[in-house]
C-alpha cells in the first residue's frame, strides 16, 4: 500500500514521466549541482514498484548519491559505488567489477554516462570519457550490464536511465543500442520516457539553431526496466 503524502512524488501510472525539478520534499536527494544528477522522483517511483522495505538496492554509478538518499528515506538498504566518489558514503569501485558477491542485490539502478558529453572526472576508468560514437563505449556498458546481472538475485529488477546523442549532424541512438545489450541478459519489462528539463541547450538561441539547421534538441531520456530470469 503506497502512502500518499505531499512531501512524496506522484506515483506514476503511465510510461511518460515529467518531473519539474530534480528534488522533492524539503531535504536534498543527491546534489542538484552535480553534472548529470538523476531526478530523485525517478528513483522513488522505481522503489515503490520493484522493492520493499529492507531490500538491498545497488547503484554502481552513484554520482552525487541521489539513490542513497532516497533509499535511506524509504527504509531500503543501499550500496552506492562510483569510480570517483563524491561523498564519504559512496564506495570507490568500477561498475564493471563490483566488490560484491553474486546474487545479493534486490534492485539495481544505473544512470550511466551516455557519451563523453559531460566531464565527470579524469579517472582513466571513467566510461564518461569515451564517446558513444566509439564502439568501445558500448563494449564497456556491456561489461557493466554483465556485472549488474551477476550481483542481482534471480527474478529481481534493473532500471537504467540513458539518453541519445545528436552531435554535428551525427545521431547515435544510445538508448536503443543499450536496450539491445540489456536484452541479451535480461527479460524486457518496459521503457519509460522521462522528459528532460534544465538542459544547457534550453535557450532561445539553441531553439533557433535547431530550426535553422534542421536538427532536434534532446527532449527525453529512456528509463529501461528489465528483469533477471527466475531460474538459471
Ligand X SMILES: C[S@@+](CC[C@H](N)C(=O)[O-])C[C@H]1O[C@@H](n2cnc3c(N)ncnc32)[C@H](O)[C@@H]1O
Q: Which residue is nearest to ligand X (CB)?
A: 63
Of 112-120, 131-139, 150-158, 168-176, which segment contacts ligand X by CB under 6 A? 112-120
Q: Which of 23, 45, 51, 64 binds ligand X (CB under 6 A)?
A: 64
What one-character DSSP code corresponds to residue 99? S
Q: CB of 28: closest distance to ligand X in angstroms?
A: 11
Distance of CA 186 to the CA centre of its chain: 17
What is the Cα–Cα distance from 20 to 133, expressed in whole angstroms?
A: 31
Name the minimum Å distance from CB 66 to ligand X: 3
Does residue 66 touch ligand X according to CB under 6 A? Answer: yes
Q: Is 121 an interacting residue with respect to ligand X (CB under 6 A)?
A: yes
27: left (phi over 0), alpha (psi -120 to 50) or beta: beta
Of the residues 23, 45, 51, 126, which one makes contact with ligand X according to CB under 6 A: 126
Residue 30 contacts ligand X per CB under 6 A: yes
Residue 62 CB, nearest approach to ligand X (Å) = 6
The answer to whether 84 contacts ligand X (rule: CB under 6 A) is yes
User: Quick one: 89 or 210, whose CB is closer to ligand X?
Assistant: 89
Q: Which stretch binds ligand X (CB under 6 A): 126-134, 171-179, 191-199, 212-220?
A: 126-134
> Is 38 one of the binding residues for ligand X (CB under 6 A)?
yes
Task: Say how far residue 29 (Cα) sits from the centre of its chain.
Answer: 14
- Reading the block at residue 204, the C-alpha cell is 532561445
CB-count burial class (<10 Å; 0-12, 13-18, 19+) for 80: buried
Stretch that binds ligand X, among 34-42, 48-56, 151-159, 166-174 (CB under 6 A): 34-42
**Cβ within 8 Å of residue 118, ≥6 positions away:** 35, 36, 128
Q: Which strands make up the sheet holding 220-227, listed edge to edge?
A: 16-17, 187-195, 220-227, 152-162, 105-111, 56-59, 77-82, 91-92
What is the rounded CA–CA span in Å between residue 10 and residue 113? 27
Shortest separation between residue 230's beta carbon and ligand X, angstroms: 28
Q: Which stretch in 6-14, 118-126, 166-174, 182-190 sits in contact with ligand X by CB under 6 A?
A: 118-126
Spell 177-210 as b/e; 16+ CB within 10 A means b: bbbebbeebbeeeeebebeeeeeeeeeeeeeeee
Using CB under 6 A, pick the residue from 69, 82, 116, 164 that binds ligand X. Answer: 82
Name the DSSP letter for residue 49.
H
**Residue 165 sits in the site that holds ligand X (CB under 6 A):** no
Binding site for ligand X (CB under 6 A): 30, 34, 36-38, 60-64, 66, 81-84, 94-96, 111-113, 120-121, 125-128
Amino acid at each position: 500500500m503506497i502512502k500518499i503524502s505531499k512531501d512524496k512524488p506522484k506515483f506514476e501510472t503511465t510510461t511518460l514521466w515529467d518531473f519539474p525539478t530534480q528534488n522533492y520534499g524539503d531535504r536534498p536527494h543527491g546534489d542538484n549541482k552535480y553534472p548529470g544528477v538523476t531526478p530523485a522522483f525517478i528513483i522513488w517511483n522505481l522503489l515503490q514498484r520493484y522493492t520493499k522495505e529492507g531490500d538491498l538496492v545497488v547503484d554502481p554509478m552513484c554520482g552525487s548519491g541521489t539513490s542513497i538518499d532516497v533509499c535511506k528515506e524509504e527504509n531500503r538498504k543501499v550500496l552506492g559505488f562510483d569510480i570517483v566518489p563524491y561523498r564519504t558514503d559512496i564506495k570507490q569501485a568500477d561498475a564493471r567489477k563490483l566488490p560484491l558477491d553474486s546474487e545479493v542485490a534486490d534492485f539495481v539502478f544505473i544512470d550511466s554516462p551516455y557519451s563523453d558529453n559531460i566531464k565527470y572526472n579524469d579517472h582513466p576508468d571513467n566510461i564518461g570519457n569515451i564517446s558513444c560514437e566509439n564502439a568501445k563505449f558500448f563494449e564497456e556498458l556491456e561489461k557493466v550490464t554483465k556485472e549488474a546481472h551477476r550481483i542481482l538475485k534471480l527474478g529481481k529488477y534493473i532500471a537504467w536511465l540513458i539518453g541519445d546523442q545528436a552531435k554535428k549532424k551525427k545521431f547515435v541512438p544510445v538508448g536503443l543500442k543499450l536496450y539491445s545489450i540489456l536484452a541479451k541478459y535480461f527479460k524486457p519489462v518496459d521503457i519509460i520516457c522521462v522528459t528532460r528539463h534544465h538542459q544547457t541547450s534550453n535557450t532561445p538561441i539553441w531553439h533557433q539553431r535547431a530550426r535553422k539547421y534542421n536538427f532536434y534538441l534532446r527532449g527525453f531520456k529512456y528509463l529501461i526496466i528489465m528483469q533477471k530470469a527466475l531460474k538459471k
